[in-house]
Structure 1
């Protein structure tokens, strides 16, 4: 039996690790670290730094693997993602078998938290079709929590709901009905440009929780172009970007 621990590590600040996460890392026989290419080497570097700082068990093994690249040219988005997840699951399985065989405790460090717009649990389910595994989630701080903390704002108004969605859904479907607050993730195209700006405030952040953190906020009509320019410059400087924002009407 493989005990697979999916450990939320927050959004880049090692101080975001919970005591539960540190205990799980030190109980692991194997910690797997994905490599996403030279453009995103910072992400692997951060995972290595976290392990170097908190893993004190000399028996814990660290193994890196190259993450398969998704075929973004596939016109069928869901089919493309499914094929990508299948490929990742195969790499996980091969790495586990090569390192510890079919029994032991394996930890994966998940950026943010495995519960929110993350497919780690779905990929783990694919691995479970070939290996006997049990999955345990160690929750972490999400990018949404880090964003609201950086701006020192609540996510919702008193007694009011909010929706978490993607940039693609905001762009294609418009502002969700029945809510005044929308949190937007996975937006590579600054889809807030599709929103009529009158009466809308935006709170935006990139690399939230990391040393490189950038936050901007203000009326959407006045702040949108500043965010677009800042985002483009930051992406060019780092070679990658992770950002998230909240929109609120009224």
Structure 2
């Protein structure tokens, strides 16, 4: 029997590790850490650092090369094929390092429930018992960094992606929109009138970056700063919240 625990580790700050997460890491026989290419080597280093700070027990740590998603063709089919490839790598590592069974842990950025596919990939492993340890999400880190509430009083919140925001615009009826996985500054496609934005990149990390203000003024500033940060670090992880001013009508 393989017991797989998906452990939310927050957004890169070891202080985000909960006591439950620390116990789960120390109870594991094996922790798998993905390598995502030289440009994202910081993410591997952060996971290594978390393990070094949290592990008191002797736990085997194995790194593996993350398959690369084919960006061409149909998006959904490409993602499904990518998930199949990741699951195949997991099976290989399990067979190699836990042939008699045991406890496997994967450290998941943020929380496994929020715009993360680890749970969907784990479904491809028949006979594996899966459990989840909740983690601090990028949304929580963003609202904490800006010291703002997620929702307006009695208001609604929609969580979406940059791809959907660019394709469909502001979600109907939403007072607040949180946008994740935006690789192209989709906020630039919106009518900025009456909209404020709170943006954050590398949340919880040493080089955390924050911006906020009226969207009309902040859109070009955020886009420029985002490009410079990505060029400097070779990668970027960011999220933003936008809120519309109440209508007087």
Name 2:82's counterpart in structure 1.
84
Name 2:70's counterpart in structure 1.
71
Deviations 1:176-215 (A, max 9, x none): 0111110000000100001101110000000011111000
SS at match of 2:124: helix
Deviations 1:113-153 (A, max 9, x none): 0000000000000122xxx2100000000000000000000
Name 2:6's counterpart in structure 1.
6
C-alpha deviation, 1:102, in angstroms = 4.4
Moved over 3 A (4+): none
Deviations 1:186-245 (A, max 9, x none): 000100001101110000000011111000000000111110110000000000000000
Aligned mates of 1:171, 1:178 — CA distance in 2: 17
Aligned mates of 1:34, 1:179 — CA distance in 2: 36
Aligned mates of 2:12, 2:148 — CA distance in 1: 20
SS at match of 1:137: strand
Aligned mates of 1:41, 1:143 — CA distance in 2: 20
Aligned residues: CA RMSD = 0.6
State the TM-score, normalized to the length of structure 1.
Answer: 0.97
Corresponding residue to 1:153 among 142, 148, 154? 148
Aligned mates of 1:48, 1:93 — CA distance in 2: 22
Aligned mates of 2:72, 2:146 — CA distance in 1: 36
Aligned mates of 2:221, 2:180 — CA distance in 1: 19
Name 1:234's counterpart in structure 2.
229
State the TM-score, normalized to the length of structure 2.
Answer: 0.97
Aligned mates of 2:45, 2:99 — CA distance in 1: 26
Structure 2: gaps (5+ residues): none
Residue pair 1:89, 1:123 contacting (<8 A) in 2 also: yes
Comparing 98-107 with 63-72, which one deviates more in the overlay? Answer: 98-107
Deviations 1:36-89 (A, max 9, x none): 01000000110011001111112x100000000000112x11000000000000
SS at match of 2:104: strand
- Output aligned runs, 1:155-170, within 5 Å: 155-170=150-165
Aligned mates of 1:83, 1:38 — CA distance in 2: 23
Name 1:112's counterpart in structure 2.
110
Name 2:173's counterpart in structure 1.
178
Residue pair 1:11, 1:143 contacting (<8 A) in 2 also: yes
| Corresponding pairs, count | 245
Residue pair 1:96, 1:102 contacting (<8 A) in 2 also: no
Name 1:209's counterpart in structure 2.
204
